[in-house]
Amino acid sequence: MNAVAPLALEVDRVTLELGGRVILNDASFAVKNGEFIGVLGPNGAGKTTLIRALLGLVPVASGKIRVHGETVMRGNPSIGYMPQIRSGLANRRVLGRDFVAMAADGHHWALLHRNASVRQDVERVLELVGATQLAARPLSELSGGERQRLLLAQCLLGNPHLLLLDEPLISLDPRHQTGVVELVRRVQRELNITVLFSAHELNPLLNSLDRVLYLGNGRAALGTVDKVISKPVLSKLYGSPIDVMRVNGRIFVMSGDVEIDKLDHAHEEGEEHTHEHVHHHGHSK
């Protein structure tokens, strides 16, 4: 790559540990500018931990992470982040527009030009995600998919180059899932930014992603769907025989005769989730 366009993200021999457990072991991969990457893997594989390490919230045990050629730091304005959705949003009476504007306070530039330019930026991001109308209504009156639109708008404040979206499809029905994926893809192309979109399941992302990053067993595999979502690669990541079935344009990852993400849902409150939520609140402003 030439010096003009550094990679969006470089993970160089990175080991991540959480609560004494190795989540990622000596992993290396690189993401190019403008790619849409689906981040997949079983619960506890470290999707959230990796995202938080990219934000500088989880220190690397060894190795280096670079975002646009710079070593990772906390509060990097070139990264937009959507944490896993909090169910508490559903009861908030706050108007959508004010909800988006609240996030601007987290950006250092907001303090400098509190009023006009923040208002302008809020309107810009609402328009980008097609939520100008929605923004006049309270969150409590919006559907899950509509609230996700506003969360995406928040991420886009301040013109980030890299978006990290942590399971934005959780608890949405299939129609809304498709809507969120298409919306993110449209915005990503329009702004020519890079997206890491973590998900429980590959199918809602299939038509939108450029490459897939699959985490499992401390390893990471990044490549095209055909390369990564394959029997040899996934069997290695899971450390047990995995079958991949393609049916009517959908892909099913099977362990024996059980579909992998169905297996995961049974352990929804698995280790990673418990750890993550504790850690998340620990860092909240």
Write the pLDDT tens digit of every residue in 218-246: 999 999 999 999 999 999 998 899 999 99
Average pLDDT over residues 154-174: 93
Contact 165, 199 (CB under 8 A): no
**How far is residue 48 CA from its own chain's centroid?**
8
Supply the pLDDT for residue 89: 73
Give the number of other Cβ atoms within 10 Å of residue 124's Cβ: 13
In 3D, which of 49, 22, 107, 63 has the Cα closest to residue 272? 49
Supply the pLDDT for residue 114: 59
CA atoms of 73 and 124, how far apart (whole Å): 27
Structure token pair of residue 57:
């919230």
271 vs 187 pLDDT, higher one: 187
Supply the pLDDT for residue 166: 95
What structural domains and CATH numbers belong to the chain?
9-78+160-283 (3.40.50.300)
pLDDT greater than 70 at residue 127: yes
pLDDT greater than 50 at residue 104: yes
CA atoms of 178 and 148, how far apart (whole Å): 12
Full DSSP string of the chain:
--TTS--SEEEEEEEEEETTEEEEEEEEEEE-TT-EEEEE--TTSSHHHHHHHHTTSS--SEEEEEETTEEP-TT-TTEEEEPSPPGGGGG--SBHHHHHHHHHTTSHHHHHTTTHHHHHHHHHHHHHTT-TTGGGSBGGGS-HHHHHHHHHHHHHTT--SEEEE--TTTT--HHHHHHHHHHHHHHHHHHT-EEEEE-S-SGGGTTT-SEEEEEETTEEEEE-HHHHSSHHHHHHHHTS--EEEEETTEEEEEETTEEHHHHHHHTTT-HHHHHHHHHHHHH--
- Mean pLDDT, the chain, rounded, equals 85
Average pLDDT over residues 152-178: 93
Supply the pLDDT for residue 79: 95
